[in-house]
Amino acid sequence: MKLLVTGGYGFIGSNFILKLLEEHEEFKITNVDNELGGSNPKNLSKINKNKNYEFVKGNITNHKLMEDLISKSDVVVNFAAESFVDKSINDASPFLISNIIGTHTILDIITKQKKKLIQISTDEVYGSLKNGSATEKSILNPTNPYAATKASAELLVNSYFATYNSNVIITRCTNNYGPRQFIEKLIPKTIILANQNKKIPIYGKGNNIRDWIFVNDHCDAILMSIFNGKEGESYNVSANNEIDNMTIVKRILQLMNKSEELIEFVEDRPGHDFRYSLDSTKITKELGWKINTTFDEGIKNTVQWYLENPEILNNISSTALDSTPWKSSN
Ligand SMILES: NC(=O)c1ccc[n+]([C@@H]2O[C@H](COP(=O)([O-])OP(=O)(O)OC[C@H]3O[C@@H](n4cnc5c(N)ncnc54)[C@H](O)[C@@H]3O)[C@@H](O)[C@H]2O)c1
């Protein structure tokens, strides 16, 4: 099977490609990435010479390029997106281009060429929830510009299924953590600052809740959607692991034998959603997906990975570790 992975230099895309090459010899993978925020070519340097992998630098909004790449592929897995929530609050325009126009470019081509699209979406499309968990039937109610562009992309995907019977599937996952995440995000930033004995900034009181999943478990769900997912369907992906930010930071400090005095509270960002939560009964029952990594195992593995791979920090600007908190929802 020939897979076109977009945004493969980013956090989830790079873990997905590495897992696939390790576990499935039958896949040939092309990674198209424009090396924007969140990308790190070092994430995939160890497979540069793998005969089943090639990298193409390019933008998913480039119709001609995408036509050519999709013509050589069976399935497109669309990870490429502007993903930093805070940046979308400062200026949403690049988000509209990559997340909406980019998805539309791919949709148009896969429809004409009769190929398959797996659209990687997010729990943020449902917005903040006071109680309960969102199911695939819940309304989309995004409350920040990033989430609004992801929800817009989903509406386009669904409209293409309804109008042209395009071969599309959407996965909506909760907050991922694990190796290779960009260092501005909560977990890597906490590990790196703690290792340098620097202050760790936390938004508000640190009581915002996210539902955390180890990245490899999300990658398994995507693979199952490629093989067994039903056309036109959406699948929520969650590990039912709701934890507030303060508990995560304290757990990391404990694992690293560091003092909680490193924690520093800073003013919350505007529109900071308090709680996301997903019900993933559908993917569990219909595709047999389940999580394989407990939070305890996953967080130990992640701390260890960042401490053992300091070279990942090369080429990343030092402002990524400045005194503002992590610059995204995760
Ligand atoms: N990180 C999470 O917790 C999470 C949770 C659920 C869903 N998602 C979704 O998963 C996908 C990947 O997230 P991530 O955390 O790996 O993001 P990331 O920011 O680490 O990676 C995104 C990658 O996409 C590339 N990219 C962006 N715009 C592009 C364009 N126009 N053309 C080509 N390449 C482009 C970037 O260069 C980068 O390498 C996103 O679609 C995101 O919405 C993320």
In a shared domain, residues 193 and 131: no
Cβ(170)–Cβ(159) below 8 Å: no
- Determine the distance separating the centroid of ligand 1 and the alpha carbon of 314, expressed in angstroms: 20
What is the CA 198 to chain-centroid distance, rounded?
27
In a shared domain, residues 196 and 232: no
Average pLDDT for residues 194-216, to the nearest whole number?
Answer: 92
Average pLDDT, the chain: 92
Q: Looking at residue 201, which CATH number applies to its domain?
A: 3.90.25.10
Is 279 inside a domain boundary?
no
Name the more confident of 177 and 129.
177
In a shared domain, residues 150 and 167: yes
- Tell me if 15 CB under 6 Å of ligand 1: no
- Determine the distance separating the centroid of ligand 1 and the alpha carbon of 235, expressed in angstroms: 18
pLDDT of residue 141: 95
Q: Give the model confidence (pLDDT) of 22-65 as tens digits.
A: 999 899 999 999 999 889 999 999 999 999 999 999 999 999 99
> From CA 155, how far away is CA 233, in angstroms rounded?
12
> From CA 305, how far away is CA 36, in angstroms rounded?
23
Q: Residue 276 — pLDDT band, cuts 50, 70, 90?
A: confident
pLDDT of residue 86: 85
pLDDT of residue 245: 92
pLDDT of residue 14: 98
Residue indicated by tokens 């400062």: 90
pTM over 0.85: yes
Is 286 inside a domain boundary?
no
> From CA 110, how far away is CA 60, in angstroms rounded?
13
Name the more confident of 268 and 319.
268
In a shared domain, residues 192 and 218: no
Residue indicated by tokens 């013509």: 71
Is 44 inside a domain boundary?
yes
> From CA 211, how far away is CA 221, in angstroms rounded?
16
CA 150 to ligand 1: nearest atom = 43
Q: Give the model confidence (pLDDT) of 101-118 as tens digits.
A: 999 999 999 999 999 999
| Count of other CB atoms within 10 angstroms of residue 90 | 9
Q: Looking at residue 165, which CATH number applies to its domain?
A: 3.40.50.720
What is the CA 178 to chain-centroid distance, rounded?
11
Q: Which domain holds residue 227?
A: 2-176+212-237
In a shared domain, residues 163 and 187: no
Is 327 inside a domain boundary?
no
pLDDT of residue 329: 45
In a shared domain, residues 49 and 82: yes
Is 201 inside a domain boundary?
yes
The structure tokens listed for 286 are 């219909």
Interhelix angle 145-164/102-113, nearest 10 degrees: 20
In a shared domain, residues 228 and 218: yes
Q: Residue 327 — pLDDT band, cuts 50, 70, 90?
A: very low
Name the more confident of 323 and 282.
282
Is 284 inside a domain boundary?
no
pLDDT of residue 272: 61
Is 103 inside a domain boundary?
yes
- Determine the distance separating the centroid of ligand 1 and the alpha carbon of 172, expressed in angstroms: 13
Is 110 inside a domain boundary?
yes
> From CA 183, how far away is CA 172, in angstroms rounded?
23
Residue nearest to atom 6 of ligand 1 (CA): 122
To the query of whether residue 123 is one of the catalytic residues in this protein, the response is: yes
In a shared domain, residues 203 and 149: no
For 107-116, 169-178, 228-237, 270-279, which range has the lowest pLDDT when averaged over its residues? 270-279
